[in-house]
Chains A and B, each alone.
Chain A
């Protein structure tokens, strides 16, 4: 079990550019979640997938944000036409479902820190 990995770890971009982040969940986990965390705040939910289906999207996720999980394994989060307000840490987490003791426990990756200049 290698844990949840995210790439890149840091991204600096100019306002108006598009960026894409990748998340690789724990291999046996069928759920994958995206959160955003700004300095001094707790993470805020953005969206989640069960297998390849995107089951819920937060109102925080504007039309400039899109997430995919095409084969039910890794996921990408794309932000189009970035704005300075998009600067944050983007966190990915994964979990299993079902009735086991660890079902629905979310394990987080290290995050991708986005800075929009």
Chain B
């Protein structure tokens, strides 16, 4: 079945550091890929998405590129801020009859210090 694997956390960075959170997936067909973010005390929010190979999703300075050859969708940001501290979830929506439901990774906790 479909699965998503994220890098182990937690990740702790200083403000303005470069961020990478790795995400790899297993799926049949041609899934869509997503990053969701959960800020402290808030619900899940869609951060960015990519629906086909080589697409780049971007939002709020975050980027991720859909790499079919490596089955990856790594999240990057060039300069993190304290306000980026949150839990980040990689997710996929499988093809065919599975389309729509999301399969999530386990989440990566990011803490950014001033």
A78 to B93: give the CA distance in the assembly, Å.
26
Contact flags B34-57 to A (C-beta < 8 A → 1, else 0)? 001000001111100100000000
Q: Which of B42, B91, B103, B104 has the most CB of A within 10 A?
A: B104
Does any Cβ of A come within 8 Å of B111's Cβ?
no
| Interface contact A42-B107, CB-CB below 8 Å | yes
| Interface contact A43-B101, CB-CB below 8 Å | no
A43 to B106: give the CA distance in the assembly, Å.
8
User: Which residues of B sit under 8 angstroms from A74, Cβ to Cβ?
Assistant: none
Does any Cβ of B come within 8 Å of A108's Cβ?
yes
| Interface contact A91-B106, CB-CB below 8 Å | no
Partner of A107 from the list B46, B89, B101, B106 (CB cut-off 8 Å) is B46
Partner of A44 from the list B43, B46, B93, B104 (CB cut-off 8 Å) is B104
Does any Cβ of A come within 8 Å of B99's Cβ?
yes
| Interface contact B106-A105, CB-CB below 8 Å | no
| Interface contact A45-B93, CB-CB below 8 Å | no
A95 to B46: give the CA distance in the assembly, Å.
12
A/B pair count, beta carbons within 8 Å:
51
User: Which residues of B sit under 8 angstroms from A93, Cβ to Cβ?
Assistant: 44, 102
CB distance from B22 to the nearest CB of A (A): 15
A48 to B99: give the CA distance in the assembly, Å.
11
Q: Taking A108-B43, A108-B44, A111-B43 as contacts, is the C-beta distance between A42 and B104 under 8 angstroms?
A: yes
Q: How many residues of A contact B (CB 8 A)?
A: 23
A95 to B44: give the CA distance in the assembly, Å.
14
| Interface contact B107-A48, CB-CB below 8 Å | no
| Interface contact B107-A45, CB-CB below 8 Å | no
13 new A-B pairs (CB below 8 Å) besides A43-B44, A48-B101? A31-B100, A33-B102, A42-B4, A42-B91, A42-B107, A45-B102, A48-B100, A56-B101, A91-B43, A95-B100, A97-B100, A108-B44, A111-B43
Contact surface of A with B, Cβ cutoff 8 Å: 31, 33, 35, 40-45, 48, 56, 91, 93, 95, 97, 104-111
Contact surface of B with A, Cβ cutoff 8 Å: 4, 32, 36, 42-46, 49, 89, 91, 93, 97, 99-107
